[in-house]
Amino acid sequence: MTTASMARKYEPRTAPDTKVATSAMIASLAAEGYDTVSAPFGTALVEAAKSNDRIVGLSADLSKYTDLHVFADAMPERFYQMGMAEQLLFSAAAGMAREGFLPFATTYAVFASRRAYDFIAMAIAEENLPVKIACALPGLTTGYGPSHQAFEDLAIFRGLPNMVLIDPCDACDVAGMVPAMIAEPSPVYARLLRGKVPKVLTRHKPDYKFQLGKAQMIRDGKDVLVISSGIMTMRALDAAEQLERDGVDVAVLHVPTIKPLDAGTIISEAGKGRLCVTAENHTVIGGLGEAVAGTLMRAGVHPTFRMIGLPDEFLEAGALPTLHDLYGLSTQEVATQIKDWL
């Protein structure tokens, strides 16, 4: 924690509906009104492994916190506990891929993107090996402060050649991305939602199915286009319902694959004369927003453009509802920002 953040710790917060009095450091992701699915990643991986004996699972002492324990319990002979050594985790995964296995390596997103980046770059990405990296606590999904908040992981990996990037919204995306990752010959980095994960997309679009590299319109609208990924698609959909009561018609385009980006769909939808807003659980530096902005600029499409995302700074520790209000990721804050921009 920096000196400045320590000083701010004792200052009164100005976020709407302030909840800073709570002492909880990690809170469940608010998903009111949605059913949940327990451990969709671990469950989907077990199902896939039943018919594919090349699949193995590896963890750096965090299987319980990445839902890989479901796989370990079902197939202990194909599970490898590497201990608290992330560089070893990814080097071993690379070696297994060279021997014909299909390794799923899991840890926290901060440890993969910061601590083990060089090993992923040299041993996996440069060799274009089919290692699948699934990492929990992406963006602002933990209150434990900068040591655990992977607010810049997508920016770090976007610049890495051969690496596919996935930012799932819900349990449907998480379950659907597993077979897609298996089928993809390149290395994949996937942000991971774990535990009890809400079912969001099929409530709004019953026929929704995850497709690697494809953006999908979950809800159409004539006034605003929100281009979102990860949990911010849920927040955008909830904000759209709230804004509808105020006469604002909001479309939500879900972009679960950050790289390769579905440029064609984004360009087509952004060219329809609506306010264009990107929403991401990631710093505004180097993530979905800047990827979309660059895509539109290169295509000569110039809508009124705004970004919702985390600021370019180390984030505070605290309870997630408080932090999401503070940094503009809550449903109410998303709705407020959109109204202010109209």
Pairing of strands 275-283, 224-228: parallel
Question: Taking Cα atoms as reference points, which of 256, 263, 228, 253 lies closest to residue 334?
Answer: 228
Residue type, 336: T
Residue indicated by tokens 């610049």:
159
For 96, residues 6+ apart whose C-beta sits below 8 A from its C-beta are: 56, 58, 103
N-term to C-term CA, the chain: 37
Find the Cα–Cα–Cα–Cα dihedral 147, 152, 158, 162, rounded to 10°: 10
* 235 and 208 Cβ atoms separated by less than 8 Å: no
Q: 11: helix, coil or strand? A: coil
- What residue spans of the chain are helical by DSSP H? 3-9, 40-50, 69-74, 86-98, 109-110, 117-119, 153-158, 171-183, 201-204, 231-244, 263-270, 288-299, 320-326, 331-341
> What is the Cα–Cα distance from 113 to 299, expressed in whole angstroms?
30
* 200 and 31 Cβ atoms separated by less than 8 Å: yes
Give the Cβ contact number of residue 299 at 10 Å: 15
Catalytic residues: 86
